A and B are shown apart, each in its own frame.
Chain A
Amino acid sequence: MSKSGPQVPLTPAVFHVLLALFGQERHGYDIMQQVKSDSQGAVKMGPGTLYGSLDRMIEAGLVTKGNTRDPRRIYYKLTALGQATLRAETERLSRLAAVARRQLGTA
């Protein structure tokens, strides 16, 4: 894998933010709500955690700023690398779940 390709595994926070931004630009509060709904309430992300992750994700080239007209509601969106990383991590997780499922049984 080249250095610019998707780097997985991801932390749960990064994975959730990527997932929330898939196919839609969102501002911070919107991301938090989407993460909460995607995880069925299990992951509740606060502003500090969110912006800490977003900064690192921007640096890693996964996310970029979209609409920045209102400084209180800056929108974020996925880059092509962000999309590829999200897909790669989803693949990795489902392979892992499949292995776990295969390995349990009774005869």
Chain B
Amino acid sequence: MANIKPKTRSRSLALYGLLLGLYAPEFLARHRAEMLQNFEDLENASSSKAALWLFIGEDLMLTLMSRNIPKSLWGHSAPMLIVLATVLAIWRAFAFDTAPVSDPEALGFSSSRLARIAAWQQAQVEAGAFSGAVAAIARNGKVAYLRAVGFRDHAKTTPLQRDAIFWIASMTKPVTSVAAMMLVEGGKLDLAAPVHQYLPELRDMMVGVERTDPASGETKLALEPQKHPMTVEDLLRHTSGLVYEVGNTAVHKLYRESGLYDRGLARNGTLKDFVSRLARLPLAHQPGEVWEYGHGADVLGRVIEVASGQPLDQFLDSRLFRPLGMVDTGFWVPPEKLARLIDPPVGARIRPDRDVTKPTTLFSGGGGLVSTAADYLRFCQMLLNGGELDGARILSPTTVRRMTTNALPSGIRFADGSTFGLGFAIRSDVGWSTVPGSVGSFFWGGAWGTYFWVDPAEQLIAIQLIHVAPDKIGQFRGGFRNLTYGAFLIPDRGGPVSANAPTAIDQADLAAFEGIYTFPASSSRDKHEPFGGLGINIAMQDGLLKVVSPVRGAPAARAGIMANDIITHVDDEATRGMTLNKALEKMRGPVNTEVRLRIARKGQDAPIELTMVRAPIRAASAGADVDLQVAVKDGKLQIEASGALPVLDFEKGAPTAVVPLSSGEFLVDGGDHTRLAFLHDRAGKATSLVLNPGPWQITGQRIN
């Protein structure tokens, strides 16, 4: 995050100076110098031009509207204000905004199904898999979902924020690859050229080959010259023969023993030193013949330095991060942002060169960056847009297509159903995978579980940032993919209702279904035991215990308690002066025990004495069971959930009408098209309610 500030005053600053003329002269006399300085600071800190001007423009509009207008509405400032307002409106409509939209449905997502992502992550946090997660999903250039779940620290003291900073590890590689392609487009780098054209120290690298002596059975490492010199393209698609320390061959062993990251080099070495150490090791394969993950992108980082004449951090900062407005991306976290950095996974061993809390001079193009969900979204949106974001052109569409198209020769295998381009893995087969995604999707992830993919066919970007132990990352990637595609809306084509002509059921038959049906919470781990209570929502107002709403079918409602009743006594004890919690405690108790309430009701002179028997009640809190209340309204059956039932179409407190399909089956018309089937006992009384009958059905028991 080097601070490269141009010496000359920017054009933006000059424009801002002009706009300040809209303020009252006496205000300017006091603050002009300060405001110009503020603008310079803001420009340096938040360097997407669109974001800066949106912010400044809004500030100007707000303050001018409130004070300056009456004086000069018909003077010279009126036309300028109109122009400003128009420009702002256009900007707001077209600029990529990382704040999520209020209506994900407009982007083809179900809000309630998107909410399952946070619930799923929350369950992982509670199970101790990771301390917290930030997930972001964008579609059609707008953000449908951006939420943080859990905590920044393992002690669970600080809730994680959406702008949390993560070490994104190998998600650095796509960034470095894009930087290299910018130089290719600019004529400063040749993909087909030998790497030694830029880094002569790599010219004579040998290839290590294990040979077994047939006589002795002994295996030895022989060294052969490169058949074809390693090319720049080999670095981008992992066919260079450079590998990582993880592996079983003699070459991997040499990597581990080489002390590539000796103390001296850890954070204060340079890429040049690192590459010269790497040059002493043999390659694991002939260049261009085998795909193997390794240090290619680190060497590519050094190639970028040589080709551009700039240190890698400065090149990335000035050419990518600033133009794209990636304000929190860099090779280390400055002190003022350390409070936003999430803890490493429990028990993680952090190599000294990976300690992102301290400044570094060793810029790892393979895994050095820290970033945020919003920043990486901007990077991905640039790719999805064909190389451009908010007026900042990074690459040409042709180059983006080339990077996200197979770059491996036919003889080289990457993985079943996937292939590799320049810096990205690419889905090549609709089958062959355990996770959903369109052909042409490109993706990659980092060592501690950070993960992203871009699905151009769906105009979709998804990013999940977590820090988990490296051996556990697979399941969280798959889970997030399933939840994301699982949140797509079913396109409304009239729905299956037209296929099953709705049946008319008369009022009396509908009433037979009325009641409360209770469903097990989706996570059974933290199931709340029901407590004995009255089924009543109460509030303390002006020292009076007031009934907000009795739960239909529960003891209080059956005894005749109504909303707005004042409970003056519980078991002969006056409620005046009681705390709300004390009153709750008094009304709760073992199931089947009695409670006596004295009620004052508006319009009634005498107090009402009511005795009722406590029944099992479930507080509508996270993880608790969920009740569906079925009632007849306006001749139609209507369902309302007491809590989140995220799997289905029922939102807490939002009555949902259902249409009958047969005498005992109903359908939510629209949304996920949840089907409901009532089951009867022999006497014909509805006893349970089955949601989505079939292999994935959930059954709720009637409780009243």
B533 & A48 in contact (Cβ 8 Å cutoff)? no
Interface centre among A40, A102, A104, A106 (most CB of B within 10 A): A106
Q: Which residues of A contact B587 (CB under 8 A)?
A: 107
User: Which of A57-107 touch B at CB < 8 Å?
Assistant: 71-74, 102-107
Q: Which of B23, B42, B161, B581 contacts A105 (CB 8 A)?
A: B581
User: Which of A12-50 touch B at CB < 8 Å?
Assistant: 27-29, 32, 40-41, 44-50
B34 & A46 in contact (Cβ 8 Å cutoff)? no
**How many A-B pairs with Cβ below 8 Å?**
93
Residue of A nearest to B37 (CB): A72
Q: Which residues of B contact A29 (CB under 8 A)?
A: 37-38, 41-42
B537 & A105 in contact (Cβ 8 Å cutoff)? yes
B59 & A72 in contact (Cβ 8 Å cutoff)? no
Q: Which residues of B contact A47 (CB under 8 A)?
A: 31, 34-35, 38-39, 56, 59
B67 & A73 in contact (Cβ 8 Å cutoff)? no
B163 & A46 in contact (Cβ 8 Å cutoff)? no
Smallest distance from the beta carbon of B192 to chain A beta carbons, Å?
46
A49 & B63 in contact (Cβ 8 Å cutoff)? yes
A46 & B67 in contact (Cβ 8 Å cutoff)? no
Residue of A nearest to B340 (CB): A37
Smallest distance from the beta carbon of A67 to chain B beta carbons, Å?
13
Smallest distance from the beta carbon of B586 to chain A beta carbons, Å?
9
Residue B580 lies at the interface, judged by CB distance under 8 Å to chain A: yes
A46 & B27 in contact (Cβ 8 Å cutoff)? no
Known: A41-B161, A55-B27. A46 touches B538 (CB 8 A): no
B27 & A51 in contact (Cβ 8 Å cutoff)? yes
Residue of A nearest to B159 (CB): A40
Q: Which of A50, A71, A107 contacts B536 (CB 8 A)?
A: A107
CA distance A73 to B41 in the complex (A): 11
A46 & B536 in contact (Cβ 8 Å cutoff)? no
Residue B663 lies at the interface, judged by CB distance under 8 Å to chain A: no
Residue B613 lies at the interface, judged by CB distance under 8 Å to chain A: no
User: Which of B67-114 touch A at CB < 8 Å?
Assistant: 67
A107 & B59 in contact (Cβ 8 Å cutoff)? no
Known: A29-B42, A72-B37. A52 touches B63 (CB 8 A): yes
Interface centre among B33, B55, B63, B588 (most CB of A within 10 A): B63
Smallest distance from the beta carbon of B620 to chain A beta carbons, Å?
7
* Interface 1/0 per residue, B556-586 and A, CB below 8 Å: 0000000000000000000000011101100
In this complex, how many residues of chain B approach chain A with their Cβ under 8 Å: the count is 44
B619 & A106 in contact (Cβ 8 Å cutoff)? yes
Smallest distance from the beta carbon of A31 to chain B beta carbons, Å?
10
A103 & B539 in contact (Cβ 8 Å cutoff)? yes
Residue B458 lies at the interface, judged by CB distance under 8 Å to chain A: no
Q: Which residues of A contact B58 (CB under 8 A)?
A: 46
User: Which of B299-327 touch A at CB < 8 Å?
Assistant: none
CA distance A45 to B34 in the complex (A): 15
A48 & B60 in contact (Cβ 8 Å cutoff)? yes
CA distance A51 to B537 in the complex (A): 47
Smallest distance from the beta carbon of A28 to chain B beta carbons, Å?
5
Q: Which residues of A contact B584 (CB under 8 A)?
A: 105-107
Q: Which of A32, A41, A52, A102 contacts B67 (CB 8 A)?
A: A52
Q: Which residues of A contact B163 (CB under 8 A)?
A: 41
B583 & A74 in contact (Cβ 8 Å cutoff)? no
Residue of B nearest to A54 (CB): B31
Interface centre among A45, A46, A52, A102 (most CB of B within 10 A): A46
CA distance A97 to B541 in the complex (A): 14
A40 & B59 in contact (Cβ 8 Å cutoff)? no
Q: Which residues of B contact A102 (CB under 8 A)?
A: 540, 579-580
CA distance A40 to B581 in the complex (A): 31
Smallest distance from the beta carbon of A87 to chain B beta carbons, Å?
25
Residue B534 lies at the interface, judged by CB distance under 8 Å to chain A: yes
Smallest distance from the beta carbon of A11 to chain B beta carbons, Å?
12
Residue B30 lies at the interface, judged by CB distance under 8 Å to chain A: yes
Residue of B nearest to A72 (CB): B37
Known: A44-B55, A46-B62, A102-B580. A51 touches B35 (CB 8 A): yes
Smallest distance from the beta carbon of A33 to chain B beta carbons, Å?
8
Q: Which residues of A contact B540 (CB under 8 A)?
A: 102-103, 105
Residue of B nearest to A44 (CB): B55
Q: Which residues of B contact A48 (CB under 8 A)?
A: 23, 35, 59-60, 62-64
CA distance A88 to B55 in the complex (A): 31
Residue of A nearest to B39 (CB): A47
Q: Which residues of B contact A49 (CB under 8 A)?
A: 59, 62-63
User: Which of B527-551 touch A at CB < 8 Å?
Assistant: 533-534, 536-541
CA distance A50 to B56 in the complex (A): 12
CA distance A103 to B545 in the complex (A): 9
CA distance A77 to B588 in the complex (A): 53
CA distance A43 to B413 in the complex (A): 51
CA distance A104 to B621 in the complex (A): 13
Q: Which residues of A contact B63 (CB under 8 A)?
A: 46, 48-49, 52
Residue B686 lies at the interface, judged by CB distance under 8 Å to chain A: no
Smallest distance from the beta carbon of A86 to chain B beta carbons, Å?
23
Residue B600 lies at the interface, judged by CB distance under 8 Å to chain A: no
Q: Which residues of A contact B266 (CB under 8 A)?
A: none
B583 & A28 in contact (Cβ 8 Å cutoff)? no
CA distance A55 to B60 in the complex (A): 16
Residue B265 lies at the interface, judged by CB distance under 8 Å to chain A: no
A103 & B34 in contact (Cβ 8 Å cutoff)? no
Residue of A nearest to B531 (CB): A107
Residue of B nearest to A52 (CB): B63
Residue B36 lies at the interface, judged by CB distance under 8 Å to chain A: yes
Known: A28-B38, A48-B59, A103-B540. A72 touches B588 (CB 8 A): no
Residue of B nearest to A48 (CB): B63
Residue of B nearest to A27 (CB): B34
Known: A103-B541, A106-B538, A107-B587. A71 touches B33 (CB 8 A): yes
CA distance A87 to B627 in the complex (A): 44
CA distance A45 to B617 in the complex (A): 47
Q: Which residues of B contact A55 (CB under 8 A)?
A: 27, 30
A107 & B34 in contact (Cβ 8 Å cutoff)? no
Interface centre among A32, A72, A105 (most CB of B within 10 A): A105
Known: A46-B59, A105-B584. A72 touches B36 (CB 8 A): yes
Q: Which residues of B contact A107 (CB under 8 A)?
A: 533-534, 536-538, 583-584, 587-588, 617
Smallest distance from the beta carbon of A69 to chain B beta carbons, Å?
12
Q: Which of A41, A45, A46, A72 contacts B33 (CB 8 A)?
A: A72
Q: Which residues of A contact B56 (CB under 8 A)?
A: 46-47
Q: Which residues of B contact A50 (CB under 8 A)?
A: 38
What are the nearest 3 A-B pairs in CB distance?
A46-B59, A48-B63, A72-B37
Given contacts A49-B62, A106-B584, 6 further A-B contacts (CB under 8 A): A29-B37, A48-B23, A73-B34, A102-B580, A106-B620, A107-B584
11 contacts between A and B (CB under 8 A): A28-B38, A32-B38, A40-B161, A46-B58, A46-B62, A47-B35, A47-B59, A52-B63, A105-B539, A105-B581, A106-B584
